[in-house]
Amino acid sequence: MSDAVEPLILDLLEWVADGERHYADVMEAWRTSCPRLPVWEEANARGLVTRIVRGGTPLVAITAAGRALLERRAQ
């Protein structure tokens, strides 16, 4: 995987850590068909974000693993 993806994954995690985001908004902003920058795909595969449904609305939230990664990077 490209080293360029790592900082983008952290950006995604910081964005989602501010509060749950609508799934459609996350897909519009972060999903890509570029095989060199699979930000959403990598974050999801690593278990750093999760898809949930609240009140019938699909959302994306940061996981405990995602928060831990942000905390480690902040130190």
pLDDT in tens, 28-46: 888 776 666 688 889 999 9
Domain assignments of the chain as residue spans, ordered by start: 5-74
C-alpha to C-alpha distance for 32 and 36, rounded to whole angstroms: 9
Q: Which one is predicted more confidently, 62 or 4? A: 62
Q: Which one is predicted more confidently, 36 or 22? A: 22
**Single-letter amino acid, residue 3:** D
pLDDT of 1 reads: 44
Per-residue burial over 48-75, b if 16 or more Cβ lie within 10 Å, else e, is bbbeeeeeeeebbebbeebeebbeeeee
Q: Quickly list H helices, 22-63.
A: 23-30, 39-45
CATH for 5-74, options being 1.10.10.10, 3.30.300.30, 1.10.357.10, 3.40.50.2300: 1.10.10.10
For the chain, give the mean pLDDT.
Answer: 89
Q: Is the pLDDT of residue 13 over 70?
A: yes
The whole-model pTM stands at 0.85
